Amino acid sequence: MKLSPQHSGLNFSTILSCSLIFIISFISIIVMDVNCTDDNKSTDQFALLAFKKGITEDPLGVLSTWNNNNNSFHFCEWRGVTCSLRHRSRVTVIDLDSQGLVGSISPYIGNLSFLKDLILNKNSLSGEIPQQLGHLFRLKRLGLANNSFEGQIPHNISRCSNLIHLNISRNHLVGSIPNGLGYLSNLTILDLKDNNLSGEIPTSLGNLSSLTHLILGVNNLEGIIPGSLSQLTTLKVLDLAMNKLSGMVPSSLYNLSSLTGLSLMFNQLHGSIPFDIGFTLPNTNHFSVAINNFTGTIPSSFSNLTKLEILQLQNNNLVGSVPYNLGDIKSLKILNLGGNDLGSGHANDLNFFDSLINCTNLNLISLVENNFGGTLPSSIANLMIKLGALYLSNNQIYGGIPAGIQNLVGLTTFILAHNLFTGSIPPGIEELQNLVKLDFRHNRFSGSIPSSLGNLTRMTHLHLMYNELTGLIPSSLGYCKSLQTNRLSGNIPKQIFELPSLSRFLNLANNSINWFTPNGSL
Ligand SMILES: *[C@@H]1O[C@H](CO)[C@@H](O)[C@H](O)[C@H]1NC(C)=O
Ligand SMILES: *[C@@H]1O[C@H](CO)[C@@H](O)[C@H](O)[C@H]1NC(C)=O
Ligand SMILES: *[C@@H]1O[C@H](CO)[C@@H](O)[C@H](O)[C@H]1NC(C)=O
Ligand SMILES: *[C@@H]1O[C@H](CO)[C@@H](O)[C@H](O)[C@H]1NC(C)=O
Ligand SMILES: *[C@@H]1O[C@H](CO)[C@@H](O)[C@H](O)[C@H]1NC(C)=O
Ligand SMILES: *[C@@H]1O[C@H](CO)[C@@H](O)[C@H](O)[C@H]1NC(C)=O
Ligand SMILES: *[C@@H]1O[C@H](CO)[C@@H](O)[C@H](O)[C@H]1NC(C)=O
Ligand SMILES: *[C@@H]1O[C@H](CO)[C@@H](O)[C@H](O)[C@H]1NC(C)=O
Ligand SMILES: *[C@@H]1O[C@H](CO)[C@@H](O)[C@H](O)[C@H]1NC(C)=O
Ligand SMILES: *[C@@H]1O[C@H](CO)[C@@H](O)[C@H](O)[C@H]1NC(C)=O
Ligand SMILES: *[C@@H]1O[C@H](CO)[C@@H](O)[C@H](O)[C@H]1NC(C)=O
Ligand SMILES: *[C@@H]1O[C@H](CO)[C@@H](O)[C@H](O)[C@H]1NC(C)=O
């Protein structure tokens, strides 16, 4: 093997003297190493020991091998450390993911000039991220996610021009995103999620032509979304959720056909969703613009997004009808359209349910707080064995609960509150054995409470107040062992209070006599 003098620091005379020592005294390789230490080697060892010094707690003892007292262990054998094959005493990898380490990163880390991977995710490291990382020009992967780092993102990181993955998510970083990150032209992952970063998104990030993941969600970023981001033609995931971004989404951003996930949720964005979204983002499986100020209608071209699993448009100002062909999206799992101004208040508003019957993965549907009228189509009984949650509260839906509701055996949450439902509570409901929350309050349900409700042993929330129910509260409800924070209505037999399985949080209200002040909360 040819040693490069530059890197090994060896010269002829040290080789000669080593050989002499070796030949004359038959001293082991390890001693030879000690005697022949080149500068880089001792620098690397010194830097590792300095790193260890910065760690104040090591509950799993992962650094117990990190010491220079035990000559049987070269530092390249220390746990979590890997050295170069070519330059055998140069550290290339430190991987101490999820080791429960407490402490901070020593600035000496910047002396490990062969380091390619520094992976310290999921520990409890704090303090500032040292600027000295900027000396690590060979660094490819920097993983500091899920720690407690403070201060700013060191500007000098932008000198690590070979970085491919930069993941500093879930820390306590403040300040702005350095413009210089735009020079890291090999970056594929930039994850700064869940910090307290402020300022604007640098336009220079549009220069990161290899980027596949740009994750800046859960910060305090403000200003507009720079149009330069639409140059990121390899981008798969763009997550800008939960910031204070404002203005309109640059329309060119919707042309990033490589996107599989787009989340702009919880900002102050406005504008409409382009009518041709279904053609421009064909690979999207997650589309969320919820909790913004989007206006206009739901484009029917969504139905062409055949990989879509999560569609979250809730809490905007969308109007019009729900496209009837939404059911063409067979992969749909979550459909959340709540908190808009959708529907006309008239019949047929909910006909789109008919189209959902082949969406066999649907797990959650929310249409709450809209203007939907009409009746709940009986097709609902044919859908969605996997449906776990159906939220329809605060609309103007009338008529009865369709027969066959008991087919939705996966339902855990069934919310019809604040509508105009009539008829009786269908006894078949007892077959929904997974029900945890049933909220039918503020409707016009009549008849008696089916005693079979008592079979729903997982129920914790039962809200029936403000209806036209009559008869006795069935004592069988006592078998709902986990029934706790009830808001129940009906004519209440005194003995219900003696049922030991109902907790002291039981709150019962009558349709004609209110025993307790209903508070309307879930
Ligand atoms: C040196 O390390 C080896 C391997 O872990 C261990 O068995 C030995 O006890 C250590 N010796 C000292 C003096 O720490
Ligand atoms: C290593 O890094 C530290 C702190 O950044 C510095 O003081 C020291 O001179 C560097 N060099 C060596 C050979 O340890
Ligand atoms: C990562 O951080 C989040 C929140 O900061 C925490 O809930 C989660 O448990 C952490 N994960 C690990 C594996 O430490
Ligand atoms: C940070 O980078 C600048 C040059 O951009 C350099 O002058 C400075 O010494 C670096 N700081 C550290 C701590 O390495
Ligand atoms: C960043 O690191 C965290 C913790 O290891 C991980 O959960 C997350 O998926 C990483 N981000 C990306 C984009 O890979
Ligand atoms: C980026 O990656 C390419 C291809 O792997 C490589 O040739 C180049 O040296 C890397 N670094 C920079 C700064 O472009
Ligand atoms: C985040 O930073 C802002 C200033 O930019 C500050 O007012 C706020 O308290 C910080 N929040 C947290 C949770 O640190
Ligand atoms: C990087 O982005 C900035 C701002 O968009 C631009 O002015 C600059 O020319 C770009 N630099 C390179 C090297 O692409
Ligand atoms: C949302 O948009 C509507 C209509 O364009 C406007 O009247 C309203 O002020 C906006 N609200 C916010 C919070 O931006
Ligand atoms: C879009 O979907 C409609 C039906 O919803 C279909 O007729 C049309 O061919 C699709 N277009 C493309 C480009 O997939
Ligand atoms: C559901 O799938 C069946 C079988 O592929 C098909 O005949 C039917 O038209 C589909 N219904 C809807 C509403 O898409
Ligand atoms: C359901 O409840 C009714 C009335 O309380 C009872 O007669 C019946 O045996 C129960 N069925 C099951 C499956 O528990």
Domain boundaries, the chain: 40-148+162-169, 174-259, 262-423
Residue 214 CB less than 6 A away from ligand 5: no
**What gap in Å lies between CA 282 and CA 307, rounded to an integer?**
8
CA 167 – ligand 5 centroid, Å: 7
| Model confidence at 476: pLDDT above 70 | no
CATH number of 40-148+162-169: 3.80.10.10
pLDDT, averaged across the chain? 84
**What gap in Å lies between CA 345 and CA 333, rounded to an integer?**
26
Same CATH fold assignment for domains 40-148+162-169 and 262-423: yes
- Is 319 within 8 Å of 345 (Cβ atoms)? no
**What gap in Å lies between CA 153 and CA 129, rounded to an integer?**
7
CA nearest ligand 10 atom 6, residue: 304
Cβ < 6 Å from ligand 12: which residues?
Answer: 430, 451-452, 454-455, 476
* pTM (predicted TM-score): 0.84
Residues with Cβ within 8 Å of 42's Cβ and at least 6 positions away in sequence, in order, are none
pLDDT digits (tens, 9 = 90+) for 438-461: 899 899 998 887 777 777 888 888
| Model confidence at 511: pLDDT above 60 | no
Residue 186 CB less than 6 A away from ligand 9: no
Question: What whole-number percentage of the chain has pLDDT above 90?
Answer: 65
CA nearest ligand 7 atom 12, residue: 196
CA nearest ligand 3 atom 5, residue: 170
pLDDT digits (tens, 9 = 90+) for 8-64: 333 444 444 444 434 333 333 333 333 334 556 688 899 999 999 999 999 999 999
Instruction: Report the CATH superfamily, name and number, of domain 262-423.
Output: Ribonuclease Inhibitor (3.80.10.10)
What residue has token string 């969504």? 302
pLDDT score for 24: 37
CA nearest ligand 8 atom 7, residue: 204
Cα-Cα end-to-end distance for the chain? 72
Domain 174-259 has CATH 3.30.70.260: no
pLDDT digits (tens, 9 = 90+) for 48-79: 999 999 999 999 999 998 987 756 678 898 99
